[in-house]
A = this chain, B = another copy of it.
């Protein structure tokens, strides 16, 4: 199973992290971003947005980190990570949407500006971070994990761009429960890290 991968991408790290926590073996194919390989085959043929990660598992070809988490959890992992029961699935899904929406466009976008020079609106990104981080903080003051009171793909989807948010000028100083949650994830068996985390 091949993951077309970029080491500094939080979206790629979501998948690497989940695979490590669940013992799923991935063949990592590093993509040379500076050489524009993400805009060439085979990546562009799987994800026309030309964004990483993309996954090839035999005939199964997927883009979008959240979709890849859903696939890997359903196909290869213990059902605890993404149950098939609709209430539980929806509870996890709330945070997968948050990952694609406020986390990506908040701390994720701020980091793209500061670290990679993307021409995005930094003020909007910081405002989005300021809106979503207190909500994570409140959730994590009451629960050890984002959903279902146990580790799920929700934690794998949300944590990466929160954990490296300092690279976009976002501080977690006033969010002790978020920091404790990141430490809990770091303590899970099989945990692997990424640069700056």
Chain B residues with CB under 8 A of A124: 120-121, 124
Interface on chain A toward B: helix, strand, loop, or mixed SS?
helix
Q: Copies per complex?
A: 2
Q: Does A66 contact B (CB under 8 A)?
A: yes
Query: When chains A and B are docked, how far (Å) is the Cα of A84 from the Cα of B70?
Result: 11
Q: In chain B, what residue has the closest Cβ to A102?
A: B49
The residues of A with any CB-CB pair to B shorter than 8 Å are: 48-49, 60, 62-68, 70-71, 73-75, 84-87, 89-91, 93-94, 96-98, 100-102, 104-105, 120-121, 124, 131-132, 135, 138
Query: Is there an interface contact between B138 and A94, defined as CB atoms closer than 8 Å?
Result: no
Complex contact B100–A64 (CB within 8 A): no
A-B contact pairs, 19 of them (CB 8 A): A48-B138, A49-B102, A49-B132, A62-B94, A63-B94, A64-B98, A66-B93, A67-B90, A70-B86, A73-B86, A74-B90, A75-B86, A75-B87, A93-B96, A96-B96, A100-B100, A101-B105, A121-B124, A124-B124
Using A49-B135, A86-B70, A135-B49 as known contacts, say yes or no to A93 and B105 having CB atoms under 8 A apart: no
